[in-house]
Amino acid sequence: MSIRERLSGNEAIATAMRQIDPDVFAMFPITPSTEIPQYFAQYVADGRVNTEFICVESEHSSLSACLGAEAAGVRAVTATSSAGLSYMNEVLYVAASLRLPVVLAVANRALTGPININHDYSDSMAERDSGFIQLYAENNQEVYDNYLMAHRIAEHPSVRLPLMVCEDGFITSHAIENIELEEDAAVKAFVGEYNPEHYLLKTENPLAVGPYGVSAYYMEARVAQAQAMKNAKQVILDVAEDFKRTFGRSYGFFEEYRMEDAELAMVIMGSSAGTAKACVDELRNEGIKAGLIKLRVFRPFPGEELCKALSACKAVAVMDKSEGFSSCGGPLFSETAGACFNLDTRPKMIDIVYGLGGRDFTVAQAKRVFLRLDEIRKTGETGPVYSWLGERSAV
């Protein structure tokens, strides 16, 4: 039976961690994810978990310690944000290439510089090709639920890849919302135990971890890793289906909001989706066929499924809360446009970079985007494909 509670996103993640009771938590604090190990340290002090809680000297070290623990055959977790995630860069790639299913909680925050502690996706998007599965959440309930599903996905025998559970820094990490928690025993039963087939301390077949990849084997290892990421798509759906049966809440690769007859659509991630949904409702009341797709899974990217969901639209705005510095747009646009490239009939598509460094995103701004899409629908002319929303010079 679900338990009604009011928690911040950080406390929701820490609560899920407590219920799962991982074997190792290696931590180094960084805003705005610091509360996660802070809450968890209290659980350790109170004897509510059996976790080995390791305080290290850097984010690079925290993920390295998790890799050692996972290689030894136990479940390990950590948390970080922004420059801390960047400092882990080398180890992120190592974790994925060694197929060690560490679960990493990320409170998304803008990357330096200039120094900024507020939310955008520049930190996790910079690591989109590291080999980590990436899940994103609109609100605190989704943050909690994504974390409950994370270990099942990452540890599945056909996947065995590390996974990021991403939440919006300060917006969801610190804001308190109503949430439904599940009972500890039910969570334990759903997540299950970690039983790796191969690990360092398995005496029956001793092995080494972290070999040198000579040319004759390196590519095969990468192909196997890529196949595991493809396998993750079905596992994500299977775990979500079991989650729905067990706890009653439904998830997929993305949420389609009022897309049944939409001619104009917005593709967006995270907490901004709530603002955009309010705009869609307003436009529907005005007779404009607007809709929204809120992406939950960025890695593996659900390109085929997203194409199908957008195929009947006339015009689409992809909203990037991260600057790609490609001169062509942000990373979400690149993935979405690339996925739709081979559609026989595809919508006109534009990229809007917004919300950088915590810049506000309002219903009025979302409406401006949709009205531009409506003009594209009428004229067939996109105008600038790549532009920014909310910068002071344009307001």
For residue 211, whether the previous peptide bond is cis, meaning omega lies within 30 degrees of 0, is no
Q: pLDDT per residue over 121-150, tens digit each?
A: 999 999 999 999 999 999 999 999 999 999
Residue ranges covered by each domain of the chain: 3-247, 254-394
Q: How far apart are CA 183 and CA 7, in angstroms?
A: 15
Residue range 146-160, pLDDT digits in tens = 999 999 999 999 999
| Predicted local confidence at residue 304, as pLDDT | 96
Coil, helix or strand for 298? strand
| Euclidean distance between CA atoms 370 and 264, whole angstroms | 7
Q: What is the model's pTM?
A: 0.97
Length of the chain in terms of residues written: 395
Q: How confident is the model at residue 19 (pLDDT cuts 50, 70, 90)?
A: very high
What's the CATH class of domain 254-394?
Answer: alpha beta
The answer to whether domain 3-247 and domain 254-394 are alike in fold is yes
In one letter, which amino acid is 257?
A: Y
Angle of the 59-72 helix axis to the 89-97 helix axis, nearest 10: 10
Among candidates 168, 150, 348, which has minimal Cα distance to 235?
Answer: 150
Q: For residue 76, is pLDDT > 70?
A: yes
Each residue's pLDDT tens digit, 315-369 = 999 999 999 999 999 999 999 999 998 888 899 999 999 999 999 999 999 999 9
Position 394 pLDDT exceeds 70: no
pLDDT in tens, 197-253: 999 988 898 888 888 999 999 999 999 999 999 999 999 999 999 999 999 999 999
Q: Which helix (H) or strand (E) holds 316?
A: strand 315-320
Q: For position 210, what pLDDT does the model report? A: 87
The CATH number of domain 3-247 is 1.10.3720.10: no
